[in-house]
């Protein structure tokens, strides 16, 4: 039997800050009711899986730790494969520290194998100074993600990518990033769900991470407009999502969303309406004509 599942971004898709996006709970709870495989895929390394699940539960979403896949997990698993039992100097918070410990890493203050940078508010100039000297001495620079900033209730704050940029400029060393759009994180999540690329849809609000990663993996992609991307921004990108919807709430009870009924999801494109299409090639594939394309149209985890 054919199956389908989802990799779902959270910030800007499920919630904004601490506010639930209306209807997101209904959509996710429907996936749970239908036993559709999915992961919440986040580039935020601050929180542990349990922390994230608790936040979602408080918003009325019946998510559990097993539904959460963070860039901190992806980073820690990758390092454990590259150098089992290694050491790391960490600029980051609990989610990242927890994941590294769970994957056999020791956190050290001198001579680390890796300098690992994640999200957080703990950075001091002294930490940047230590990290710079460690990298110059040969420690490898690892980023959980390269997001330049993060939205907050009060506006943007510098993200992990901004901290990494400072260390790159200071040392002349380029970081290796594991978070979205890195195929390392996205492929790991997809494989853990037991899905092929054809069986996986990425839902996100950010073109540069969620949608780019999904396109590069060959998955279906759905952009939601409840986050940072506006419909008019799409023209600036060389790649497009397969669908654009105002909100994830629009996917509730949507015939094109995966259910246990394989026939309905074997080829999600077959049931697209013409006014959902933005890709000329898709129009050709299903034989639509004309001018309708302008209305744009988710173990063994130890951490």
For Mg ion, the closer of residues 11 and 242 by Cβ is: 11
Size of site (CB under 5 A) for Mg ion: 6
Active site residue 11: yes
The two most distant CA atoms of the chain are separated, in Å, by 64
Q: How far is the CB of 39 from Mg ion (least distance, A)?
A: 14
User: Does 9 interact with Mg ion (rule: CB under 5 A)?
Assistant: yes
Position with the least CB separation from Mg ion: 12
User: Does 93 interact with Mg ion (rule: CB under 5 A)?
Assistant: no
Q: Is 93 helix (H, G, I), strand (E, B) or coil?
A: coil
User: Does 12 interact with Mg ion (rule: CB under 5 A)?
Assistant: yes
Task: Enumerate long-range contacts of 169-174, CB under 8 Å, 24 or more apart.
Answer: 170/128, 170/132, 171/132, 171/135, 171/136, 171/141, 173/135, 173/141, 174/141
For Mg ion, the closer of residues 120 and 227 by Cβ is: 227
User: Does 242 interact with Mg ion (rule: CB under 5 A)?
Assistant: no
Indicate if the alpha-carbon torsion angle 253, 254, 258, 263 is positive or negative: positive
Q: How far is the CB of 232 from Mg ion (least distance, A)?
A: 18
For Mg ion, the closer of residues 80 and 189 by Cβ is: 189
Q: Which residues, 187 to 226, sit near Mg ion by CB under 5 A?
A: 205-206
Active site residue 9: yes
Bridge-based pairing state of the strands 149-152 and 155-158: antiparallel
Binder to Mg ion among 3, 7, 8, 11 (CB under 5 A)? 11
Cβ 182 vs Cβ 208: under 8 Å: no
Residues 6+ apart with CB under 8 A from 58: none
Which residues are part of the catalytic machinery?
A: 9, 11
Applying CB under 5 A, the residues found at the interface with Mg ion are 9, 11-12, 205-206, 227
């Amino acid at each position: 039997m054919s199956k389908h599942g989802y990799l779902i971004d959270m910030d800007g898709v499920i919630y904004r800050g601490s506010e639930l996006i209306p209807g997101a709970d209904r959509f996710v709870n429907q996936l749970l009711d239908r036993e559709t495989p999915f992961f919440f895929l986040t580039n935020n390394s601050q929180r542990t899986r349990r922390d994230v699940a608790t936040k979602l539960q408080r918003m009325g979403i019946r998510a559990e730790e097993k539904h959460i896949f963070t860039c901190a997990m992806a980073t820690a698993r990758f390092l454990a494969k590259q150098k089992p039992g290694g050491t790391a100097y960490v600029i980051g918070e609990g989610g990242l520290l927890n994941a590294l410990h769970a994957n056999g890493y020791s956190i050290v203050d001198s001579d680390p194998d890796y300098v690992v940078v994640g999200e957080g508010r703990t950075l001091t100039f002294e930490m940047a100074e230590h990290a710079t000297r460690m990298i110059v001495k040969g420690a490898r620079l690892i980023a959980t993600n390269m997001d330049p900033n993060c939205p907050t209730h009060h506006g943007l704050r510098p993200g992990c990518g901004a901290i990494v940029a400072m260390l790159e400029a200071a040392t002349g060393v380029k970081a290796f990033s594991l978070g979205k759009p890195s195929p390392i994180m996205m492929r790991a999540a997809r494989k853990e769900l037991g899905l092929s690329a054809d069986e996986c849809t990425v839902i996100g609000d950010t073109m540069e991470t969620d949608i780019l990663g999904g396109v590069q993996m060959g998955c279906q992609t759905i952009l939601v407009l409840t986050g940072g991307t506006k419909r008019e921004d799409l023209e600036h990108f060389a790649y497009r999502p397969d669908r654009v919807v105002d909100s994830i709430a629009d996917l509730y009870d949507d015939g094109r969303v995966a259910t246990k009924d394989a026939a309905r999801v074997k080829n999600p494109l077959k049931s697209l309406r013409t006014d959902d299409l933005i890709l000329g090639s898709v129009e050709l594939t299903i034989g639509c004509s004309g001018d309708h394309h302008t209305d744009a149209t988710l173990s063994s985890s130890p951490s």
